[in-house]
Amino acid sequence: MRQNPIQNESKGFLKAVFFAGGTISLGLGIIGIFLPLLPTTPFLILAAILYARSSRRLHYWIMHNRLFGRYIKNYVSGGGIPLPAKIVIITLLWVTIGISAVFVVSSLVIRIILALVAVGVSVHIITVRTLRSKE
């Protein structure tokens, strides 16, 4: 049976939307490495999911990337986050939010919001399963 050309067009459009969403998510995830208010891991996971539906090549790339591929796989599979990564994540989070709260932001309300975000992210990172190294 032949497929309806409208269905093919619709699939192509959805692939383009998933590709664009994956690229935007990847960009936000990379920016989130440097900006503490922007979460990195959820954006990278979303990018992996969207690339899985739009581009095999990019999905493979993000899942096997030497910098964050292993972390995405472990997080998605429920394997967890290694303890050294948790320590680095939480330390960088508090240092960058602390610097922002002290030197950049003058509003007490914004400082409180920054502190709440830091607490929320810290609690999440702490409660995610800790990946034990293979001995």
Query: CA-CA distance, 73 to 71, in Å (whole number)?
Result: 5
56 and 87, same domain (yes or no): no
The confidence score (pLDDT) of residue 111 equals: 92
User: pTM of the predicted model, to two decimals?
Assistant: 0.61
3 and 52, same domain (yes or no): yes
72 and 7, same domain (yes or no): yes
The confidence score (pLDDT) of residue 3 equals: 57
106 and 86, same domain (yes or no): yes
C-alpha distance from residue 102 to each of 8, 66, 98 (Å): 54, 35, 6
| Encoded tokens for 10 | 């619709």
Query: In order along the chain (135 residues), what is the average pLDDT of each group of 10 residues?
Result: 60 90 92 77 87 93 89 80 84 86 90 90 88 65
| Encoded tokens for 96 | 């960058």
The confidence score (pLDDT) of residue 109 equals: 94
* Number of compact structural domains in the chain: 2
The confidence score (pLDDT) of residue 60 equals: 94
The confidence score (pLDDT) of residue 32 equals: 82
Pure H helices in the chain: 5-34, 40-52, 56-63, 69-77, 83-99, 108-127
Query: CA-CA distance, 47 to 54, in Å (whole number)?
Result: 10
